[in-house]
Amino acid sequence: MFNGKMKAVTFSYDDGVTQDRRLIDILNKYGLKCTFNLNSELLGTDNHLIICDRTISHCKPRACEVREIYDGHEIAVHTLTHPNLTKCDEAEIIRQVEQDRLNLSEIAGYEVVGMAYPSGGVNYNHFVSETIKKNTGVKYSRTIEASGNFDLQSNLLEFRPTLRHADFDDLFSLADEFISLEPAEPKLFYIWGHSYELDIENTWDKFEEFCKIISNRDDIFYGTNKEVLL
């Protein structure tokens, strides 16, 4: 159970970009909690992405801003420099993950124990997850493979989210399904994404609408990844 409740909602957002400030304003407005997965060696860098013929900001906050920005939420590992870990040897996997964890723990002022795998496509495998389990302080890590359901999972180092936030049709239909559930076993609605994606087609209002729908339910616990998984 989640703090005495059978249902929980959690969010997970990657890359640590400046759009996170706007996202956090929305989450805080509705009492929602999120885990933000950061690349400590990329903090303070300016960049942009070309997506759907649009130029999208992909700038990172400075290390000195991180504690203030993410206050009330969870900071977690996303590796030092965002490589595809399936293409790294064991030593580099350990360095990318554990040094990021240590860096972020110092920045955050508490021990960081969560993670999300960086890069798209096939971005983890059993060798990667076992290497992390045996050689780092990470206790859970999110994949990008949507489960499409609310079931809990036994392997916390290969944890599959319910779905990505940009799939709005599915997001709203799953929200209706989750709200109506009266489960006999604990159920978790786990949403992930990147806040900069909301700039692509200016879907911030849609995201806020979802937050309004899913929030303020007496039978739902709202927590960070750490609070719902550990």
Burial class (CB in 10 A: 0-12, 13-18, 19+), 133: middle
pLDDT in tens, 107-157: 999 999 999 999 999 999 999 999 999 999 999 999 999 999 999 999 999
Alpha carbon distance 156, 53 (integer Å): 37
CATH 3.30.465.10, domain 7-229, yes or no = no
pLDDT band at 76 (very low <50, low <70, confident <90, very high): very high
What pLDDT does 48 receive?
95
3-class SS string, 158-205: HECCCEECCCHHHHHHHHHHHHHCCCCCCEEEEEEECCCHHHHCCCHH
If one counts every other C-beta atom within 10 angstroms of the C-beta of residue 11, the result is 26
Q: Which two tokens stand for residue 99?
A: 């040094």
Q: Which two tokens stand for residue 127?
A: 């060798």
